[in-house]
Amino acid sequence: MGFYDAFKDALSVAQKADNVELYRQLLDLSAQALDLQEENVRLKSENAELRKAKDLEARIIRHTELYITLKEDPDDLYYCAHCWDIDRRLVQLSCDNSDGTFICPHCHTTGIFNYGKFQSTQNEISEMGPYCF
């Protein structure tokens, strides 16, 4: 017999005994039990979200530039370290593979994710001279 069934039986007994005060107290107890049940559901949900965030945080790999990656990510995606630090939000960076730079579409943080490509692009620009544009 569950809590609800036991409580229902107790209410029935109190009503049959014509004990108004006991019946009133049981109704108050019922309201408190419902409040506790709602709080329990809320706390379980909050606990699950906190566990999920903690598990995600354990997967974060920080880099010298303002991007982060996730351990065991098959896609090897780059995320904004600034957005993660401020909002605990994973925002995928827009990476320009031609020059090795990135920009966050949310906070507009920029940086370099591939120094080899970036340096190569800078060398090409400097070889063109100052009036090539």
Contacts with 27 (C-beta within 8 Å, 6 or more apart), sequence order: 11
Residue 1 in this model has a pLDDT that exceeds 70: no
Q: What are phi and psi of 111, to 5 degrees?
A: 180, -170
pLDDT tens for each residue of 46-96: 999 999 999 999 999 999 999 999 999 999 899 999 999 999 999 999 988
pLDDT tens for each residue of 4-51: 677 777 777 777 777 777 777 877 888 888 899 999 999 999 999 999
Q: Where are the domains of the chain?
A: 3-54, 60-122
Residue 123 in this model has a pLDDT that exceeds 60: yes
C-alpha distances out from residue 115 to 65, 75, 90, 119, 124, Å? 10, 20, 23, 6, 14
